[in-house]
Each structure stands twice: as C-alpha cells, then as structure tokens.
Amino acid sequence: MLAFFIFLYTFIMKSTNRGSITPFFIIVVSLIVIIGLIIFEYTFYSFSYSKAKVNMYAEMDKVMSEYDRKLFNEVGLLAVKKDNLKKPIADIDVLEKQIESLMDQKSLVKSVAMAESIVNEFIKRKTKVKLKSFDVSYLNLKLYTIIDGRASKRDIKEFITNLASVSLYAELQGISVNRLKDLISNLRFEELKNIRPVFVLRSSIRKNFKKILSAYKKYDKLGVYKHYFLADYSIDYIGYNLTKTKSYLTSEYIATGIANKKISKYAVLSEIYLIRILLDFMETFVNPKVRDKIKKMSFGSPKLFAIEAVAFSAIEAFYDTNRIRNGGKIPIYKGKGGFIVFSISNKYYKNGFTYPHYLKMVIMIIPKKIVLNRMVYVIEKRFKIKLSEHFTEIDVKRKTEFKGRLIPFKFEKTIEGKLSYE
C-alpha cells in the first residue's frame, strides 16, 4: 500500500513538472491511516487474546471447583475426579504438599490463639476484665449470631469487650470496628445484614508467620517438622481408636500397618511402653528426686544403681502406659512430681501428654514414605475410591485462530494455562 502511494506521488510530480503540496499530504494521510489500521488490528488482537484466556481460565476454574466435597470435608484434601488432569493425589509427593499446606494453616491458627491468650491474660491483669479467647471462625460465628438476633445481651456485651483484643490479630472487612460497635450497640442489625462484615486474619500476621515457618523449614535438616505435620494430620483428620470401635481404619493403622484393630491397639501400646521406658530411664539420671531415691536403694554401688534404674524404669513405664491407655496424662519429664512407683498414694499428674500425643510420637518414628503410603490406603478404604483417579492440577494448551478485521491476515497462537490446588 505504501509503495502504491509512493508511485502515485512520483507520477503526479512528473505529470505536473512542479512541486505540489497535495501529493505530500496524500502520503502523510495514507501513512496515518495505515498506522491507525495496524493499531486497531493490534488492539483487536489483544482484546481477543485476553478474552480467549479469560474464557479458558473460567472453564478451568469450573472444573477445579467440582472437587470431591466429602473428601475435603472429612480429611481436608482437594481433588477432582475427572479425566485428562494431572498430579493424582495418590502420588505421595502431591499428598504430602497438600497435607503440609493444610497443617501450615492450622499451625497459624494455633499460633494466633496462643498469642491471643497471652494478650488476654495481660489485659485481664491490667484492667481486671476477663476476656474469652476464640479463633477467627468462631468470631465470625458469634458476629452473625448477633446479626441474626439470636444472641443475648450478655453475649453482645462480651463480644464488644473482646473486640479490644481481636483487633490485634484480626481485621474487619466491609466496615470499621467503631462503626460495627455503634450498629450493634444500637441494635441496627438490618443494616449489618446488608453490609455483611467479616473478620479475617491480618495479612501482616500471615506474612510474618510464613517467613518464620519458611526459615524453620530451611534449617530443619532432620525433617522433624515434616514428620510432625504428618503425625498431626493423622490424629486430627484420620482419627484414632482406643476405647471406641469404628468401622474404618484409623491412625493406629498408620502407626503399625496392622488392619486388625485389637492387634494394632496393643502394638501401639507396646511402642508407647518402649518410649516411656526410654524417657523414664533417662530421668533416673537427670531428675534429682528420682536419682536420690534409687541411690539410697543401691547403697552407692554404680552397677546396682544401673540395674535398679532399668528395673524401676520398666515398672514405671508399665504404670505410665496403663494410665495413658485409660486417658490419663503423663508428662515427658516428671520433675518434682516424681515416679508413680515411689508414691504410696495413686499419683496423678496435672499436666502432661495423653494418648493422642504419644501416638503422634510413634508415627513420627516411622519413615515418611511409609506413613504417606498408609494414608493413601486408609483414605481409599474409608471412601471406597481410587486416589489415582482423583487429580489436583489442570494444565490446558489450546490453539486459537485470529483473523484481521480490516487488514487481511490470519494466524494461530497457542494459549497455555495451569491451575492447581497446591
């Protein structure tokens, strides 16, 4: 097109034998038109490309939103049963990442609850006001109980009082805290229903927690955290079975690999017994109260002391395991509480670990790969599904054709997109 206008300009100049400004303007206008056409076509192409990509992600999002609800609600795992997707949740690396992400969030909630308890205790000492500690989800539940008009005056007063400590770790979306107090105090619940405020964890807390956790993971060369969150997940989501019979496999299977519930229960208790023997034996040397008693019985003989330390540790571990089996608390280090075996009365410890905590210890001893494989087996048995058919990632490559509106051109472009639960 440009060549045509150059030819036209040359022809006019030759035919008139004089300079003319008209041909010059013809070329300038032509160039402007050409550039305008190119800009228009590029704008149209960019719009079409963005539209195609948005449509593709909308379709992908729809696929990923059809996750197995029961699987998510009961064991916290996100997966879609659909063909042509990637990363099956049966892959233990994929399963581990999902569990880690889930338990990271739980650790964050626990940390915030702990921090809130400290703050509440400080406020109580300074102001003599007793505050109740609760997490963000419970906070939202209390808020909407008030908005729906189902809360008593005492609950409303307590909620408003608690907002002083809540603001340290949570932020309110949709309305300011002062405005919320004003509307609740004046019982203007209809207005709150239209606003629909919600509490969320402060983004600064999430960021700082993520930094701390990342730093810890970086220097955790022994992989203690990874073993811990798997054991923690097993207890919290797969559950345990000590006094109540359940139809499905629980954490005892994760710990032992034995499907028979009765046998697996005694296998776990025997492992807890071994853990307690080790801890009690160590305490015979480091706890002055226990060490002095054994020394008196051994008459100062080191060999006799060692024999009696083993014997008392074995007996003490038996008492400990029996107490743990019956739901009692046994601390890792007994300190001033001393051993049960030296107590005439039936000694009880105020603080200590219960059966679920010791079951976590047993699971943490087992290699991570074995634990994850057993988890896959338990989940498949419980839900009667194949986790190899449940996927966590969608990866789409789509060829799109673009045609010019004014300038005759046509070409194809491959659009790629990926969505994952990880």
DSSP secondary structure string for all residues of 245-271: --SS--HHHHHH----HHHHHHHHHHH
**CA–CA separation, 375 and 381 (whole Å):** 10
Verdict on whether the full-model pTM lies above 0.85: no
CA angle at 333 for the pair 324 and 275, rounded to the nearest 5°: 50
Largest CA distance in the chain: 132
**CA–CA separation, 416 and 63 (whole Å):** 16
Please give the structure tokens belonging to residue 217: 């993971």
65-92 pLDDT per residue, tens: 888 888 888 888 888 888 778 888 888 9
360-390 pLDDT per residue, tens: 999 999 999 999 999 999 999 888 889 888 8
- Least confident interval from 80-89, 233-242, 399-408, 411-420: 399-408
Radius of gyration of the chain (CA): 35
**Residue 243 to residues 142, 235, 319, 362, Cα–Cα distance (Å):** 34, 15, 18, 18
Share above pLDDT 70 across residues of the chain, in percent, rounded to a whole number? 76
Cα end-to-end distance, the chain, whole Å: 53
Residue 290: pLDDT band with limits 50, 70, 90: confident
Please give the structure tokens belonging to residue 122: 């400080």
β partners of residue 413: 400
**CA–CA separation, 253 and 381 (whole Å):** 12
Q: Which residues contact 171 (CB under 8 A, 6 or more apart)?
A: 199, 200, 201, 202, 203
Residue 111: pLDDT band with limits 50, 70, 90: low
Q: Which residues contact 384 (CB under 8 A, 6 or more apart)?
A: none
